[in-house]
Structure 1
């Protein structure tokens, strides 16, 4: 089977691997099932020659017993795809087979199409990018912001135990000058020996 794209009568672009037939610059494409594409490729390989029904049923339908009716329907479908109403492109030779009368070009130059992105899509991308940047900046602020020197009550208690209030190096954390035993009556006073 042919694998490279080819052109039929400078009008129909056929891509066998994808199973597609496209007419000229029309956006519409027809998708052919593998058996129909195989039939078309056999006809193209034998362009302007009689291809017998026996050969087609052997090649395309693998000698299936009821392939004769399927072949007739497949040729009819191909004629519809190629607008061959007068049956000149695919000519029927009664009781024998079919002849493809076409100009086949195997080298096809594909047009290069540029992709145009709509303005709304571009604006949407910019908006999403801006939102992501704001989220990153705000989260970075909270992650890397310097810790304030907020002292909690537990920290104050720790400092008073670590520092000796009477050594004169650190200020006393007991501004009221109330003895510890007065604050906590259950605490026992230090006994000097």
Structure 2
């Protein structure tokens, strides 16, 4: 079962990559550790499994109580609607352990072509090959025309119906708002798409990226103050991505991201997503490999450029990182009209980041140009105004700095002090 992703368990269809369970009426999503437990049961179905064996396999190098295992099994039972008193799936054997009673049936996806050439006559085989050749030629021209008119997007091999396509757009739009509620909405929509169409790569990668953001930006419990998120680098320093819960989410994100790349290897966005997952796991070389692939597939892949730039900064490749960040900004400018919702939250931030980095390496004139470039389309951006104000002060242009201060004071920051 190790290489099988889709299985049938009685009335349930299960995607072992995403943890989606569906019986046509009910849809459940398993947590990462519950997915591991189900996979372990499937690999050892019909066997009596002692508690210690299960714990050692699922929580190696970690000391956990029997209660933790019992709770995980309870969650799996609940998802499968399995009554522990009359179990269809998970049988409890007192003083012996557990046994998974149902043998899984692999589900062959529509993308898997099964050929039996011994039953195909020579004439039929020739006709089949001719038909395939025509189909390949047709696909080639469709893809070529698509790419020539829309360079930044590569279609997945699976095409969504209009309803699911609209859900995908909504999920992407939610994700790019970068709020906790919007990210949770994105997760739910991506999961609905995957349940309906398991072979659509961009939904898998979208869910992977949203899970990374969940542990990166909102590791705090609901009802508690949000943390002040800055960068992936800072998250690593604060060990926010090293907690057991974070690791579980990231393991699920990795499985989703890797599957997305297998499903849609020519889609730039899925490579960028997998790169982000690897970067969150401290696997920077793998992250760079997929960021580079994303940029190769799409020269306007500004998200991958931003992410790669941050890794280069951690390796003291400051100039290379600054150049890449500048390229990302220029790509955002080119794509702004077609990707406004995605780009708007980043537009000013990246311009300001370029200004700050330019100033840090002694290029104060470049820094001033970038601050003014941001203010040209966002004149009341507080961070850009303050950055320019401090830069002008450092150059002895007190009057100009004070003018900026008064403008902010009158418009958006009345508490700001403009004293010398």
Q: What interval of TM-score do these two structures reach, taking the shorter chain for normalisation?
A: 0.5 to 0.7
Deviation at 1:31, TM superposition (A): 1.3
Q: Distance in 2 between matches of 1:2 and 1:12?
A: 19
Which residue in 1 is equivalent to 2:161? 115
Question: Aligned pair in 2 of structure 1 residues 116, 65: CA closer, same or farther (>3 Å)?
Answer: closer
Question: Aligned pair in 2 of structure 1 residues 36, 98: CA closer, same or farther (>3 Å)?
Answer: same
Which residue in 2 is equivalent to 1:7? 8
**Is 1:45 aligned with 2:43?**
yes
Equivalent residue for 1:65, pick from 63, 66, 72: 63
Question: Aligned pair in 2 of structure 1 residues 113, 83: CA closer, same or farther (>3 Å)?
Answer: farther
Deviation at 1:87, TM superposition (A): 2.4
Which residue in 2 is equivalent to 1:96? 96
Question: Aligned pair in 2 of structure 1 residues 78, 114: CA closer, same or farther (>3 Å)?
Answer: same
- Spell out structure 1 runs of 4+ moving beyond 3 A: none
Q: Distance in 2 between matches of 1:98 and 1:37?
A: 16
Question: Aligned pair in 2 of structure 1 residues 65, 116: CA closer, same or farther (>3 Å)?
Answer: closer
Which one scores higher on RCO, CA 8 angstroms, separation ≥ 6?
Answer: 1
User: Structure 1, residues 65-103: CA drift from partner, whole Å, max 9, x if none?
Assistant: 223111111111111111111224100011221101113
Does the 8 Å CA contact 1:6/1:105 hold for their aligned counterparts? Answer: yes
**Based on CA coordinates, which of the two structures has the bigger radius of gyration?**
1
Does the 8 Å CA contact 2:46/2:103 hold for their aligned counterparts? Answer: no
Equivalent residue for 2:33, pick from 32, 35, 57: 35
Does the 8 Å CA contact 1:57/1:63 hold for their aligned counterparts? Answer: no
Aligned counterparts, 1:67-86, within 5 A: 67-85=65-83, 86=86
Q: Distance in 2 between matches of 1:8 and 1:55?
A: 23
* SS class of match (1:30): strand
Which residue in 2 is equivalent to 1:151? none
TM-score in terms of structure 1 length: 0.52
Deviation at 1:113, TM superposition (A): 9.0
Deviation at 1:114, TM superposition (A): 6.6
The alignment yields a C-alpha RMSD, in angstroms, of 2.5
Deviation at 1:64, TM superposition (A): 2.8
Question: What residue ranges of structure 1 are gaps of 5+ in the alignment?
Answer: 118-193
Does the 8 Å CA contact 1:7/1:105 hold for their aligned counterparts? Answer: yes
Instruction: Tell me the number of residue pairs that the alignment of Structure 1 and Structure 2 aligns.
Output: 114
Does the 8 Å CA contact 1:49/1:100 hold for their aligned counterparts? Answer: yes
Q: Distance in 1 between matches of 2:61 and 2:73?
A: 17
Does the 8 Å CA contact 1:52/1:98 hold for their aligned counterparts? Answer: yes
* Structure with greater helix share of residues: 2
Which residue in 2 is equivalent to 1:162? none
Q: Distance in 2 between matches of 1:113 and 1:103?
A: 32
User: Structure 1, residues 115-147: CA drift from partner, whole Å, max 9, x if none?
Assistant: 246xxxxxxxxxxxxxxxxxxxxxxxxxxxxxx
Which residue in 2 is equivalent to 1:172? none
Deviation at 1:57, TM superposition (A): 0.3
Question: What residue ranges of structure 2 are gaps of 5+ in the alignment?
Answer: 111-157, 164-420
